[in-house]
Amino acid sequence: MAPGLDFSDWGAMETRKGTPVVVKMDNPNYSVVEIEDPDAAFRPVEKSRGKNAKQVTWVLLLKAHRAVGCVAWMATLFWALLGTIKKRLIFRQDVGMASEKLGKGKLLFTVIKAFLVISLTILAFEIIAYFNGWHYFQNPSLHIPRTSDIQGLFHLVYVTWLWFRADYIAPLIQALSKFCVALFLIQSADRMVLCLGCFWIKYKKIKPRIEGNPFKSNDVEGSGYDYPMVLVQIPMCNEREVYEQSISAVCQLDWPKDRLLIQVLDDSDDESIQCLIKTEVATWNQRGINIIYRHRLIRTGYKAGNLKSAMSCEYIQAYEFVAIFDADFQPNPDFLKQTVPHFKDNPELGLVQARWTFVNKDENLLTRLQNINLCFHFEVEQQVNGVFLNFFGFNGTAGVWRIRALEESGGWLERTTVEDMDIAVRAHLNGWKFIFLNDVKVLCEVPESYEAYRKQQHRWHSGPMHLFRLCLPAIITSKIAIWKKANLILLFFLLRKLILPFYSFTLFCIILPLTMFVPEAELPVWVICYVPVFMSFLNILPAPKSFPFIVPYLLFENTMSVTKFNAMVSGLFKLGSSYEWVVTKKAGRSSESDLLAAAERESKTTNQLQIQRGASESELIELNRLKAAPVPVKRVNKIYRKELTLAFLLLTASVRSLLSAQGVHFYFLLFQGVTFLLVGLDLIGEQMS
């Protein structure tokens, strides 16, 4: 039997081993054969280890199944979206129109509608011109016939439009786009510097520290630490869902009872809620907690007026520090022991601010996106400014103030809806320093509905611009250093409160759609795609678990620029809504520790009976009736007209970009338009399954 010949190793680069054998044969096709060892010719041929046809078929079928499943999922999602559009826009089932109370809001809506009508008209005209070949007149190398040579009125109008667009419209859009791109780059550079500062803090492990253990006594006769008198304030207004857990958390603070006073500052106008809060305060008072209930008869000035009224009490003079918690905040028992000692031996320190953490951050897509923004705000903005500048904007809650710093800075003023930022700026102008504690976290809630989030963002962006108008003269005439004045005016107010919503709305919601109809003013791809994605990547770094939401985050931030721009204009020009305060609706989410504490309280029935011994049976029945869970009200979704109009504007521009084969622009406009559509239909805050 002839030996088997294997030619598979002829191209191998390894050094050959074995004895070469020369075989002469009559057939010239086989003249030389190299056998690597004597037994090589007689070894059985190994079966191929590659996949056989059956395995390849199964792999292909599996991939096809996954692809079909993905397509089916996208089709189902698209069909559900169409069904929601039909239900909410056409049949108006369980929907209500978002009110446009002010002329400014109606004016902005009218401007957006005008842009939409113009874009639809131009798109229809562009489609007619495209299919008739008129678009070739854009080529400057071709001869454009004279008017007398052109047959057809529409052809004449199109050529006139090309001329007018190139000579008059394009230069204006180019100038505005260059200005917005410059602002965009400046703001991106600011974000980069903040992120680098955060990396440096992490690398060097820089953070405020308490020297020694102030609560450990080395002196047998001494106490080791003189606990200062601390006042805790809980301002609230109609907070039925969260008042109980907030008061409970504050009353469990680990601090000597004779050195602590808790003020529940209730501005509720609902008598049933007032009764519930009074009863809760009385319950903790009978447990030995030094807590009092205050209700204003004249409810002016919103939260600032409430705090100002509370600080006017005579007994406040005995207290050195004041801690403030909004109604949905639940501090840990050791909160005061982690914050108050920083004031010791630091007479210039006026504020210690703690970080927020959210009990409902995974509730739906809206809460996840808010968590990204707020994590960046606290871990990057607040921490970097606190370490390198000793100044940042007070967050209004979860902070401890030195009462003398409040008094010397003018106290709480009712002139804006951002009383926290107002007092922080005035304290900074008076030379007080701030500390931010990133390791001290206080549980709270973020809004779960777009309506609540929209109103919150309106207040947070109109108030700073209103405050900027009021405090600009004080900043200029203050005695602080020039670089501190520049930081306040250029960075703190203009760049982060005014420029950000302005360029985001103008660049991505107005200029980008217009450039699809005016290609002479086209925006470069790096402005649309690369830089925004990179900046979104930096924003998500403090919340690494949110990386799968980087694209929705980028699109949603551009969508929210409409509300932020609207609010910024109202605050800057002191329009009616600049002093509008709507209490953010809470859901009353409880953390795991809250549930355990509630279970523990339920088990102590004996103590409960002793506390309620003084109440009559009728009073207990009435209290239980008030505490009963309210009947769930069917949610009515809102229809937001500005967002819907911008959605159709962006989708129209995406069709135009498809005609001109602009791939990146098409996808960006399409996805941004769909995001505006989801927000306009109030789908962004739907509960996750």
What pLDDT was estimated at residue 612? 44
d(CA 242, CA 235): 12
- CATH number for 408: 3.90.550.10
Residue ranges making up the domain that contains 339: 228-445
Assigned token pair, 92: 């108006």
What does the pLDDT look like over 141-157, one tens digit per residue? 445 555 555 456 667 77
Tell me, yes or no, whether 609 lies in a domain. no
Tell me, yes or no, whether 140 lies in a domain. yes
493 shares a domain with 395? no
**How many folded domains does the chain comprise?**
2
Residue 272's alpha-carbon distances to 79, 276, 282, 584, 619, in angstroms, are 45, 6, 15, 19, 13
What pLDDT was estimated at residue 159? 77
What pLDDT was estimated at residue 477? 95
What does the pLDDT look like over 350-405, one tens digit per residue? 999 999 999 999 999 999 999 999 999 999 999 999 999 999 999 999 999 999 99
Map residue 443 onto helix, strand or coil: strand
437 shares a domain with 493? no
418 shares a domain with 317? yes
What pLDDT was estimated at residue 263? 97
Domain final position from 445, 469, 504: 445
What pLDDT was estimated at residue 321? 97
Tell me, yes or no, whether 178 lies in a domain. yes
d(CA 130, CA 156): 15
237 shares a domain with 186? no
Domain final position from 427, 445, 463: 445
Tell me, yes or no, whether 3 lies in a domain. no
What pLDDT was estimated at residue 420? 95
277 shares a domain with 164? no
432 shares a domain with 495? no
Using 50 as the pLDDT threshold, list the residues of the chain that sit under it: 1-17, 23, 29-38, 40-42, 44-48, 102-103, 137-139, 141-142, 150, 220-224, 595, 598-599, 601-615, 629, 631, 689
d(CA 38, CA 55): 36
d(CA 663, CA 654): 10
For residues 324 and 394, is the Cβ–Cβ distance under 8 A?
Answer: no
Tell me, yes or no, whether 71 lies in a domain. no
H helix intervals, 377-448: 383-388, 403-408, 419-429
H helix intervals, 287-409: 302-311, 335-339, 365-376, 383-388, 403-408
Tell me, yes or no, whether 628 lies in a domain. no
427 shares a domain with 299? yes
What pLDDT was estimated at residue 70? 73
Assigned token pair, 317: 């003079």
Tell me, yes or no, whether 6 lies in a domain. no
311 shares a domain with 407? yes
676 shares a domain with 552? yes
200 shares a domain with 236? no
Nearest to 311 by CA among 227, 402, 247: 402
377 shares a domain with 341? yes
200 shares a domain with 298? no
Tell me, yes or no, whether 302 lies in a domain. yes
Return the active site residues: 267, 420
